[in-house]
Amino acid sequence: MTSSPSSQPNQSPALKVLIVEDDPNVRLGCEQAMQLAGIPVQAVASAEAGQRLVGPDFPGVVVTDMRLPGMDGMQLLRALVTQDAALPVIMITGHGDVTLAVEAMRSGAYDFIPKPFSPDHLVEVVSRALEKRALTMEVESLRRRLDHRDAIEARLIGRSPQMERVRRLLLELADTSVDVLIVGETGTGKEAVARCLHDLSSRSAANYVALNCGGLPDNLIDSELFGHEAGAFTGAQKRRIGKIEHANGGTLFLDEVESMPVAVQIKLLRVLQERMVERLGSNALIPVACRVVAATKEDLRELADRQKFRADLYYRLNVARVELPPLRERREDIPLLLEHFMLYAAQQHQRPIPEVGREQMQQLMAHAWPGNVRELRNAAECLVLGLSRDFGTTPSPEARGASLAEAVDNFERSLIAAELRRQNGNLARSSEALQVAKTTLHDKIRKYGLAG
């Protein structure tokens, strides 16, 4: 998150306001109100001129007078809504236009402003509409990116510095053959990262094979990894190709590798060193050329020091390391992740995407998220389904373990980042919403590394 939306990567153009008003004095007053608020503005005198400027992906909102020469405001509204139903159109109405205003709202207008109106009221309504438009365009942009399954931005969502670093590292590692260790708490997206490494590589046409080392009994993981010949043990009635052999030419993902039995660790180390696999009950060595991606929520180095994990296997797996930050350390990504998951849930359950109020968003931002992104995805589904969730009771790790100063800094950073995002990077509106001076907010943005 930065102080200027135009400086962010993969962002839509800076949002603007189109004023459609035939009265030159009113038109000038509206223009000046927008300019004083730091909102880009363009003004025209007719609906026809305004319609020519508004395309399907118009990056902003339209403010139009109801009564105009030629095409009137109602006709313009219907034409624009037909072209783009999500475009916020704000109607300016006269004293006797209450009935028309109601009709306009039924026809898809975002809001209406009765004359006479103050510049502050106009700016307030426009700011809300711009916020909605920014969110709509962001979700639509995300929807388009999701259509291209190889786009890493659509797979690993977030604009925090931590996620930017993760994506850059994955792009560097993807098309290499180096083995990778992914470290992160439960729910941080370790399997999504492993899948990205596979899909973005030249191995993507071959098999991606996943095995949860903690989800199998000790007596089965040997057979699952290495395979077996018929008669290798009781119940082995026919040959079975193991996960490593099946991943030949592709990617083998070992989740919860810390739970792998020590005896199996020894065999896996040999496979990693020699790139040969031997099925149970066979003496034949089978060459394999798969990349191994291992994931763990534990500190394998510490486990190795305590002799609970083989140190030589740890060093062999830890050739390249990807560390995934917990959600509480990248709280500025919560709004975008929430929208992403609500979009999926709304499509799955055929429900509308609910509005998330400021107070509810502050609760979400302050929540500890012990289940990380997975927990947030479940929360988004609950919101879409209308199920209540209370996020105000779980103390965050910052509050439990950090000093008071660190806890305050972490929470302040997340609130500022969220407000900047909500205000589309506008410093003036963010400072007003947070009730701090612009100079103070600017200093804090620099302090927390939220700029540029």
pLDDT at 97: 72
CATH 1.10.8.60 maps onto the chain at: 328-447
pLDDT in tens, 1-19: 333 333 333 333 478 999 9
Amino acid identity, position 72: D
**What is the CA 313 to chain-centroid distance, rounded?**
34
Q: Of 142-151, 160-169, 221-230, 307-316, where does mean pLDDT reach its minimum?
A: 142-151
pLDDT in tens, 235-275: 788 888 999 999 998 999 999 999 999 888 999 999 999 98
pLDDT in tens, 283-323: 888 988 899 999 999 999 999 999 999 999 999 999 999 99
Of 380 and 57, the one with more pLDDT: 380
Given a cut of 50, whether residue 378 has pLDDT beyond it is yes
Q: What is the mean pLDDT of residues 427-445?
A: 82
**Where are the strands (E) in 222-331, listed by range?**
251-255, 276-278, 285-287, 291-296, 320-323
Angstrom CA distances, 262 to 222, 258, 259, 284, stand at 11, 10, 9, 23
pLDDT at 133: 92
- The pLDDT confidence band at residue 433, using thresholds 50, 70 and 90, is confident
**Where are the strands (E) in 193-244, listed by range?**
208-212
Given a cut of 90, whether residue 399 has pLDDT beyond it is no
- CB neighbours of 159 closer than 8 A, spacing ≥ 6? 1, 8, 332, 333, 336
Multiple choice CATH, 161-324, 3.40.50.300, 3.20.20.70, 3.10.450.50, 3.30.360.10: 3.40.50.300
Q: What is the mean pLDDT of residues 96-110?
A: 83
Given a cut of 70, whether residue 203 has pLDDT beyond it is yes
Distance (Å, rounded) from C-alpha 366 to C-alpha 382? 18
Of 157 and 146, the one with more pLDDT: 157
| Residue among 308, 226, 300 at smallest CA distance from 264 | 226
Query: Based on C-alpha coordinates, what's the Rg of the chain?
Result: 28
Which among 134-143, 194-203, 290-299 has the top mean pLDDT? 290-299
Beta-bridge partner residues of 180: 293, 320
| Whether pTM exceeds 0.85 | no
pLDDT in tens, 319-358: 999 999 999 989 889 988 999 999 999 998 999 988 888 7
Q: What is the mean pLDDT of residues 358-365?
A: 84
- The pLDDT confidence band at residue 223, using thresholds 50, 70 and 90, is confident
pLDDT at 202: 78
CATH of domain 328-447: 1.10.8.60
CATH 3.40.50.2300 maps onto the chain at: 5-146
Distance (Å, rounded) from C-alpha 15 to C-alpha 17? 7
Six-digit token pair at 361? 């968003």
CB atoms within 10 A of CB 70: 11
- The pLDDT confidence band at residue 443, using thresholds 50, 70 and 90, is confident
CATH architecture of structural domain 5-146: 3-Layer(aba) Sandwich (3.40)
CATH 3.40.50.300 maps onto the chain at: 161-324
Terminus-to-terminus CA distance in the chain, angstroms?
Answer: 8
Q: Give the burial string for 285-305 (b: 16+ CB within 10 Å, else e).
A: ebebebbbbbbbbeebeebbe
- CB neighbours of 214 closer than 8 A, spacing ≥ 6? 255, 256, 259
Residue 329 and residue 161 in contact, taking contact as beta carbons nearer than 8 Å: no
The 8-class DSSP code of residue 228 comes to: B
* Burial category of 375 from C-beta neighbours within 10 Å (exposed 0-12, middle 13-18, buried 19 and up): middle
pLDDT in tens, 38-49: 999 999 999 998
**What is the CA 382 to chain-centroid distance, rounded?**
18
Q: What is the mean pLDDT of residues 143-165?
A: 73
Given a cut of 90, whether residue 417 has pLDDT beyond it is no
- The pLDDT confidence band at residue 360, using thresholds 50, 70 and 90, is confident
Task: For the chain, give the mean pLDDT.
Answer: 85
Angstrom CA distances, 117 to 97, 123, 263, 367, 432, stand at 14, 10, 78, 40, 21
Q: What is the mean pLDDT of residues 424-442?
A: 82
pLDDT at 422: 76
pLDDT at 356: 85
